[in-house]
């Protein structure tokens, strides 16, 4: 059974409130850090832990913190990225909704480590009910001396605010988030300079994901070395996985990184296998932006080893045979699911959410959407499949932010692994139209004769 670092107390009665959270050891990491550690010592523990960013990129958190510039007389900021908008991903929502004080505690410890006296939680606009939950937790923490002036008599000051976004997926990209937080349109910035040098209001800034920040109290309390004992290799610690799709037990699960994918998908402790006795077809293991993996590549790596739920194992062999752990949005397809239709649906999302700043993304996602619409509705040709491949290839790597890549990778992987399904749509236009519009046979024959 996986160790629970984040969800250990999730079902404790009244854990939303300060008293219940405190009774389970809440805010002890703040006491330890402010009374017995220096900011640099906290950063060092996080570096030792090997904690990697849990928002999708998987960059080492302690290393990211160590890049923060510290010019004299210039404020520094910590911003929590709670703009969880990746289709198939809902684990940050679960944390904030069920145990908000864990995030607040993590923000205090992390802000102390970074020397930030003002910090922000930038939350997805659709999560309005969670804003009230977080603001209540912040008020309780402040009332009990863990926020505000001279916290615990340490001389350290911190104010923490919640800011809602406008419901734009692009604001999950850290520089677009900062633009939005400053009151501007959420367009990604050209880097360099990176936020660690010039971020919020052109001051040094660290942007971390909810789950990443929520992991820091455990690391401070138990040391980074203890954290490395959980997980496998460079994939240390635990990871929250949002599991959904055609499975028996959808939900949010905390796993030790390195758990075999077979155990995660099929054991009753986690997903419980494919629903309704259907056959397993494919999985998107890390949110909609990562490449889809067909069943035959899901269980084994390119080297024939058992695939694991880790950053390295899921990406083994590159996109030809692997995918990415990403944000942990685990979307499962059974034998009845149409890959073309699901790819079309993802592309609709990325086309709608493109900020329009870069031509390859602005125009390319629209072109992909049109071609996929044709194919899904029985109006495409074999040349359209090749055209679709060419369009995604011209988007990837040619945009300011990763949204272009996120739009291109699902399309490329779907064609790479399921080209026969695309060809079936070309060869069977009547069946496509029947499925999409329920047209009668006589009407179809009139359309194609």
Quick one: average pLDDT of 275-304? 94
Given the candidates 3.40.50.1820, 3.40.50.11540, 3.40.50.300, 3.40.50.720, the CATH classification of the domain at 18-228 is 3.40.50.11540
Contact in structure between 367 and 374 (CB atoms under 8 Å):
no
Query: In angstroms, what is the C-alpha Rg of the chain?
Result: 23
Confidence of residue 318 (pLDDT cuts 50, 70, 90): confident
86 vs 194: CA distance, rounded Å: 23
Angle, vertex CA 327, rays to CA 321 and CA 333, nearest 5? 55
Confidence at residue 447, expressed as pLDDT on a 0 to 100 scale? 46
Confidence at residue 171, expressed as pLDDT on a 0 to 100 scale? 94
- Fold designation for 339-437: de novo design (two linked rop proteins) (1.20.1440)
DSSP string, 207-246: EEEHHHHHTHHHHHHH-HHHHHTSEETTEESEEEEEEEES
Name the residue among 94, 88, 109 with its Cα closest to residue 36: 109
Confidence at residue 449, expressed as pLDDT on a 0 to 100 scale? 41
Q: What are phi and psi of 265, to 5 degrees?
A: -75, -40
Asked, as a colleague might, if the bond just before 192 is cis with ω within 30 of 0, I would say: yes
pLDDT reading at 270 higher than 70? yes
Confidence at residue 446, expressed as pLDDT on a 0 to 100 scale? 44
Confidence at residue 167, expressed as pLDDT on a 0 to 100 scale? 86
Confidence of residue 401 (pLDDT cuts 50, 70, 90): very high
Name the residue among 73, 76, 69, 56 with its Cα closest to residue 192: 69
158 vs 29: CA distance, rounded Å: 16
Query: Domain-by-domain residue ranges, the chain?
Result: 18-228, 231-334, 339-437
Contact in structure between 388 and 421 (CB atoms under 8 Å):
no
Span 6-18, pLDDT tens digits: 999 999 999 999 9
Confidence at residue 437, expressed as pLDDT on a 0 to 100 scale? 64
pTM of the model: 0.93
pLDDT reading at 445 higher than 70? no
Confidence of residue 440 (pLDDT cuts 50, 70, 90): low
Confidence of residue 444 (pLDDT cuts 50, 70, 90): very low
Residue 233, Cβ density class (10 Å: 0-12 exposed, 13-18 middle, ≥19 buried): middle
**CATH class held by domain 231-334:** alpha beta
pLDDT reading at 442 higher than 80? no
Rounded to the nearest 10°, the torsion over CA 267, 342, 173, 56 is 20
219 vs 209: CA distance, rounded Å: 16
Confidence at residue 127, expressed as pLDDT on a 0 to 100 scale? 94
Quick one: average pLDDT of 13-29? 97
How many angstroms separate the most distant Cα atoms in the chain? 83
Contact in structure between 79 and 64 (CB atoms under 8 Å):
no
Span 203-218, pLDDT tens digits: 999 999 999 999 999 9
pLDDT reading at 443 higher than 80? no
Q: How many helices (H) and strands (E) does the chain have?
A: 20, 13
Contact in structure between 215 and 51 (CB atoms under 8 Å):
yes
Other CB atoms within 10 A of residue 57 CB: 14
Confidence of residue 438 (pLDDT cuts 50, 70, 90): low
Quick one: average pLDDT of 395-401? 94
pLDDT reading at 1 higher than 80? no
Give me the chain's average pLDDT, please.
94
Quick one: average pLDDT of 361-374? 96
Confidence of residue 3 (pLDDT cuts 50, 70, 90): confident
Q: Which residues of 258-296 are buried (b: 16+ CB within 10 A; e: fewer)?
A: bbebebbbbeeebbbbbeeeeebbbbbbbbbbbbbbbbe
């Amino acid at each position: 059974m996986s160790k629970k670092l984040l969800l250990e107390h999730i079902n404790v009665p009244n854990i939303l409130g300060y008293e219940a959270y405190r009774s389970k050891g809440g805010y002890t990491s703040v006491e330890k850090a402010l009374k017995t550690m220096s900011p640099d010592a906290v950063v060092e523990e996080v570096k030792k832990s090997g904690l990697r960013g849990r928002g999708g990129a998987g960059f080492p958190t302690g290393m990211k913190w160590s890049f923060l510039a510290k010019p004299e007389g210039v404020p520094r900021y910590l911003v929590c990225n709670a703009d969880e908008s990746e289709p198939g991903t809902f684990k940050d929502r679960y944390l904030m909704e069920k145990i908000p004080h864990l995030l607040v505690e993590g923000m205090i410890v992390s802000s102390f480590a970074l020397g930030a006296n003002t910090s922000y939680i930038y939350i997805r606009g659709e999560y309005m009910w969670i804003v009230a939950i977080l603001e209540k937790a912040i008020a309780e923490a402040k009332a009990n001396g863990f926020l505000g002036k001279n916290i615990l008599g340490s001389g350290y000051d911190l104010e923490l605010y919640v800011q809602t976004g406008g419901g734009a997926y692009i604001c999950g990209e850290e520089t677009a988030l900062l633009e939005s937080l400053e009151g501007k349109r959420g367009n990604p910035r050209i880097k360099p300079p990176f936020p660690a040098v010039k971020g919020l209001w052109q001051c040094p800034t660290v942007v971390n994901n909810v789950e990443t920040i929520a992991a820091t109290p455990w690391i401070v309390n138990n040391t980074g070395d203890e954290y490395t004992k959980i997980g496998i290799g460079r994939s240390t610690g635990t990871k929250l996985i949002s599991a959904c799709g055609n499975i028996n037990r959808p939900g949010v699960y905390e796993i030790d990184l390195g758990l075999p994918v077979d155990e995660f998908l099929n054991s009753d402790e986690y997903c419980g296998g494919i629903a309704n006795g259907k056959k397993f077809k494919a999985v998107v293991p890390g949110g909609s932006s990562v490449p889809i993996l067909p069943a035959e590549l899901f269980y084994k790596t390119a080297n024939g080893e058992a695939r694991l739920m880790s950053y390295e194992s899921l990406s083994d062999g590159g996109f030809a045979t692997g995918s990415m752990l990403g944000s942990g949005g685990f979307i499962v397809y059974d034998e009845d699911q149409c890959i073309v239709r699901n790819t079309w649906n993802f592309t609709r999302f990325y086309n709608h959410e493109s900020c329009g700043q870069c031509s390859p993304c602005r125009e390319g996602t629209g072109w992909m959407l049109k071609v996929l619409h044709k194919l899904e509705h029985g109006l495409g040709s074999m040349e359209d499949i090749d055209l679709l491949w060419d369009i995604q290839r011209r988007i990837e790597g040619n945009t300011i932010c990763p949204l272009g890549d996120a739009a291109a990778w699902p399309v490329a992987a779907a064609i790479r692994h399921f080209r026969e399904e695309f060809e079936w749509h070309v060869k069977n236009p009547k069946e496509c139209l029947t499925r999409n519009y329920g047209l009668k046979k006589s009407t179809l024959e009139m359309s194609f004769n």
